Structure 1
Amino acid sequence: MHVPSPSGPLHRAQPYALGLFRAVVGLLFACHGAASLFGVLGGRNGGTVDIGTWPGWYAAVIQLAAGGLVMLGLGTRSAAFLASGSMAYAYFVVHQPESLFPLTNGGEASAMFCWAFLLLVFTGPGAFALDGLLAARTADATARAERAPVTA
């Protein structure tokens, strides 16, 4: 079995592939929340969940907020942890009592989102994340401040 070199093209592309994965998963998750909250994008047959209903409205808020944060790469690990947990809850409380397997209980999306977000908790955001840009700007500002002469 051939193992790719740690310096090969696939290895070098890994942060970019991870960044695209994060952005797409976050966008898809946010779309679920927007569909439930605002009745857009063809979700819920044009209807919305009633404000404050458990667990649907809270799940939709988490989907929209956490999905948006993950898509942008802002607080990715924390937002992904929250999203993963909400999808684990959705799977085990809503879908799994109907049947054991996701294919027969309608829980494929919940299971896939749960595992995708859990992966992001451990890998981080990859390339193109706002967290990376903000960290670079902060480090740059700190370095400039350290180089500046002290005046009294």
Structure 2
Amino acid sequence: RPAEYVPWEVVHWEHFNTPDVIIKPGIMPGECWAFEGANGYVAIQLSMPIYVSGFSLEHTPKELTPFGHIESAPRKFSVWGLLSLEDKDEEFLGRFEFEDNGKSLQTFDAVVREKAFHLVELRIESNHGHLEYTCLYRFRVHGRPAI
């Protein structure tokens, strides 16, 4: 945790979650990966190559937020499959929209591919109106092992 020292004041500690928080349990307010602006991306290495069938994106429920809305939630996003981080031939697995009036956990079907992927890249293209940052709480990849 970085400390911020301000003269004549108490030390103020700030905590920043790293992107790996999106694959861990928990959806309480603040248990997210917040990134600047309305778009960003993250690559997730899977434990084994899988045939991807879908994805789930989760945000904290509106009822748990201070003002009852989720402007920082991702809105439009796309997902891409890769064999490795060096892979230049990424494959489109779908473009989706997280509905702010929907459930806090939403599931989306992938474009079916006859190829197993070892990584997926999630690209957030917009959020629900927050001008400063986007909060990504949970992202899950669904499929079957390529064994």
Report the TM-score, using the length of structure 2 for normalisation. Answer: 0.25
Relative contact order (C-alpha < 8 Å, sep 6+): which is higher? 2
Select the structure that is richer in strand. Answer: 2
Select the structure that is richer in helix. Answer: 1
Larger of the two Rg values belongs to structure: 1
